[in-house]
């Protein structure tokens, strides 16, 4: 049984239980009301009889018979009882001496205490049959007037509740059942489609099927469509990621192929020519070393990108002073700057504090510096400045070098993208430096852009959040 059917029968059972309880309650309530009305009618009869007899001033048997005969209801029994329980009058039985004391009768004892009393469907000890009794106590005369009607089929039917409550409850239950069925049917349809979707998704089957084309126009249907759309979007994202990974793998393989082939070629030359002079041998070994260094740099950059892609949650974050990192980079690159007759102008304040990862922050400024040294050109100046905002630092890293063509600006941060592939490899670049910069900046809650300066050179504007 589906969840929709289980829900339908569960709710329908509740409706049924409620209807039964409602009918029972209403029948009891209506029966009590009718009993009260009948009791009130008999009590009124007792009151009027007392008033009439009190007006006449005579309570002898003939006077009582005359009153009862003139004001009697069909099958009405009238009894007058003293406070000690002795019966002094009964219109249905005249041998009063043989009538048992009525002091223990429920309606009599209740009337003595409360002024009024009644009893429903009690077997009479005086006359055969069941009676409905209603007694009224009159303290001024020290007597109780009791009227009674036979509790026969007519009276029993009169006191029963009408069936219109029953039919009303049945109609309501049927109406609610139809409404519930329509709602549950829609719910069940959505759940069935979601189940089909989940099964097909689990089996990697196509989701472009007619069964999933349209859901019922309700909240659950809307949620179901959103779930499927999100899943499809994730699938497309996964496919794109797989495509990018495949492309990245191909690029890595291509980049690795060049230094490996070079190293292999130089070593084969040395091995196949044992009589090669020492100068050439030394030259080939130096080239092997340079290519191995390039290979090591490439592997380091790939490892850094993998950390950024897959293990950002495992990185250690601490309070880091960027100014200290930049000073360290200045010292490390001082010789290269001097060889190219370049200047590094550091306009950072004494302290630029952020909460971040030391290694990734180092990668940002080191790669930007290495990129400028490699491509800005000789006799150029690198300038680094920062502006403090409320929650972040806004950095400007620029040079007055040759810049890049505008068509390349939007792709500078792509992995393995090179403006001049031959020149990049000659200078030892891996094609991953700016990609590492961008991902490291994003890791620290910022973003980065590249623009050409109006007077020449390239500027990188990026932000780093103070506390992620």
Three-state SS letters, 370-404 = HHHHHHCCCCCEEEEEEEECCCEEEEEEEECCCCC
Lowest-confidence region among 209-213, 275-279, 364-368: 209-213
Band the pLDDT of 429: cuts 50, 70, 90: low
pLDDT higher than 60, residue 423: no
pLDDT higher than 60, residue 158: no
What's the longest Cα–Cα distance across the chain?
163
Task: State mean pLDDT over 181-193.
Answer: 70
Q: Which pLDDT score is estimated for 129?
A: 65
Angle separating helix axes 278-310 and 358-375, nearest 10 degrees: 130
Q: Which pLDDT score is estimated for 324?
A: 94
pLDDT higher than 60, residue 348: yes
* Rounded Cα distance, 138 and 45, in Å: 13
Percent of the chain with pLDDT over 70: 72
Higher-scoring residue by pLDDT: 463, 127: 463
Q: With b meaning 16 or more CB within 10 Å and e meaning fewer, what string describes 178-200?
A: eebeeebebbbbbbebbeebeeb
Band the pLDDT of 424: cuts 50, 70, 90: very low
Closest to 368 in 3D by CA, of 331, 402, 395: 395
Higher-scoring residue by pLDDT: 58, 439: 439
* Rounded Cα distance, 102 and 423, in Å: 128
Q: Which pLDDT score is estimated for 62?
A: 84
Q: Which two tokens stand for residue 394?
A: 């806004």
Average pLDDT, the chain: 78
Q: Which pLDDT score is estimated for 323?
A: 94
Higher-scoring residue by pLDDT: 234, 127: 234
Task: State mean pLDDT over 25-53.
Answer: 80
Percent of the chain with pLDDT over 90: 16
* Rounded Cα distance, 357 and 439, in Å: 13
Q: Which pLDDT score is estimated for 204?
A: 66
| Cβ proximity of 443 and 452 under 8 Å | no
Task: State mean pLDDT over 303-316.
Answer: 65
Kindly give the pairing relationship between strand 458-465 and strand 392-399. Answer: antiparallel
- pLDDT, one tens digit per residue, over 251-300 is 556 556 666 777 888 788 888 888 888 888 888 888 888 778 767 766 77
Higher-scoring residue by pLDDT: 277, 428: 277
CATH topology of domain 312-465: Heat Shock Protein 90 (3.30.565)
pLDDT higher than 90, residue 322: yes
Q: Which pLDDT score is estimated for 156?
A: 54
pLDDT higher than 50, residue 244: yes
For the chain, domain boundaries: 3-159, 217-310, 312-465
- pLDDT, one tens digit per residue, over 75-115 is 888 888 898 888 888 888 888 777 888 888 888 889 889 99
217-310 CATH: 1.10.287.130
Helix (H) or strand (E) holding 65: helix 61-70
* Rounded Cα distance, 61 and 88, in Å: 9
* Rounded Cα distance, 217 and 189, in Å: 11
Task: State mean pLDDT over 369-384.
Answer: 90
* Rounded Cα distance, 323 and 332, in Å: 14
| Cβ proximity of 22 and 169 under 8 Å | yes
Domain 3-159 has CATH 3.40.50.2300: no
Higher-scoring residue by pLDDT: 38, 350: 350
Band the pLDDT of 363: cuts 50, 70, 90: confident
Task: State mean pLDDT over 361-381.
Answer: 89
Q: Which pLDDT score is estimated for 427?
A: 47
Higher-scoring residue by pLDDT: 355, 234: 355
Q: Which pLDDT score is estimated for 311?
A: 55
Alpha helices in 214-344 (DSSP H): 219-272, 278-310, 322-332, 334-339
Residue 121: other Cβ atoms inside 10 A: 12
Q: Residue 396 to residues 246, 286, 391: CA-CA distances in angstroms?
A: 34, 38, 17
Residue 82: other Cβ atoms inside 10 A: 15
Higher-scoring residue by pLDDT: 260, 345: 345
Q: What is the DSSP letter of 467?
A: B
Task: State mean pLDDT over 234-241.
Answer: 68
Contacts of 444 (CB under 8 A, 6+ apart): 354, 356, 357, 360, 361, 464, 465, 468
Task: State mean pLDDT over 121-148.
Answer: 79
Task: State mean pLDDT over 214-221.
Answer: 60
Phi-psi region of 245 (alpha: psi -120 to 50; beta: other; left: phi over 0): alpha
Q: Which pLDDT score is estimated for 425?
A: 46
| pTM score of the predicted model | 0.47
Closest to 290 in 3D by CA, of 263, 256, 267: 263
| Cβ proximity of 50 and 136 under 8 Å | yes
Strands (E), 10-152: 77-82, 87-90, 116-123, 130-138, 143-150
Task: State mean pLDDT over 54-59.
Answer: 76
Contacts 24+ apart (CB under 8 A), 187-194: 187/4, 187/7, 187/220, 188/2, 188/3, 188/4, 188/5, 189/215, 189/216, 190/215, 190/216, 190/218, 190/220, 190/221, 190/224, 191/2, 191/3, 191/4, 192/2, 193/224, 194/224, 194/227
Higher-scoring residue by pLDDT: 160, 239: 239
């Amino acid at each position: 049984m589906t969840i929709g059917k289980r829900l339908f029968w569960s709710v329908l059972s509740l409706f049924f239980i409620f209807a039964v309880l409602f009918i029972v309650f209403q029948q009891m309530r209506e029966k009590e009301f009718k009993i009260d009305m009948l009791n009130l009618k008999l009590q009124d009869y007792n009151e009027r009889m007392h008033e009439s007899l009190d007006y006449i001033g005579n309570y002898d048997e003939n006077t009582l018979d005359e009153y009862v005969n003139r004001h009697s209801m069909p099958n009405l029994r009238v009894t007058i009882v003293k406070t000690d329980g002795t019966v002094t009058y009964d219109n249905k039985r005249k041998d009063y001496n043989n009538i048992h004391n009525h002091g223990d009768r429920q309606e009599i004892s209740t009337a003595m205490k409360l002024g009024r009393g009644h009893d429903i469907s009690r077997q009479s000890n005086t006359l055969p049959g069941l009676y409905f009794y209603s007694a009224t106590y009159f303290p001024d005369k020290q007597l109780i007037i009791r009227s009674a009607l036979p509790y026969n089929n007519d009276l029993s039917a009169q006191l029963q509740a009408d069936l219109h409550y029953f039919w009303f409850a049945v109609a309501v239950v049927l109406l609610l059942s139809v409404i519930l069925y329509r709602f549950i049917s829609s719910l069940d349809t959505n759940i069935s489609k979601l189940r089909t979707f989940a099964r097909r998704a689990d089996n990697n089957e196509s989701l472009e099927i007619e069964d999933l084309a349209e859901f019922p126009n309700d909240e659950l249907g809307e949620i179901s469509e959103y779930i499927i759309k999100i899943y499809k979007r994730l699938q497309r994202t996964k496919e794109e990621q797989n495509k990018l990974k495949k492309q990245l793998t191909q690029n890595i393989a291509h980049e690795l192929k060049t230094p490996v082939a070079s190293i292999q070629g130089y070593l084969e030359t040395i091995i196949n020519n044992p009589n090669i002079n020492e100068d050439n041998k030394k030259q080939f070994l130096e080239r092997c070393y340079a290519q191995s260094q390039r290979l090591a740099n490439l592997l380091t950059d790939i490892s850094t990108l993998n950390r950024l892609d897959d293990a950002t949650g495992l990185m250690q974050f601490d309070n880091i002073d960027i100014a200290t990192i930049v000073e360290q980079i200045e010292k490390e690159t001082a010789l290269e700057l001097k060889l190219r007759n370049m200047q590094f102008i550091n306009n950072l304040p004494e302290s630029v504090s952020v909460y971040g990862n030391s290694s990734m922050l180092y990668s940002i400024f080191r790669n930007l510096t290495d990129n400028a040294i490699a491509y800005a050109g000789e006799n150029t100046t690198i300038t680094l400045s920062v502006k403090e905002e409320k929650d972040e630092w806004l950095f400007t890293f620029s040079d007055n070098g040759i810049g890049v063509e505008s068509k390349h600006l939007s792709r500078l941060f792509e992995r393995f993208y090179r403006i001049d592939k031959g020149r990049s490899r000659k200078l030892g670049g891996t094609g991953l430096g700016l990609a590492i910069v961008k991902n490291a900046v994003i890791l620290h809650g910022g973003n980065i852009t590249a623009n050409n300066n109006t007077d020449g050179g390239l500027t990188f504007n990026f932000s780093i959040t103070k506390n992620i």
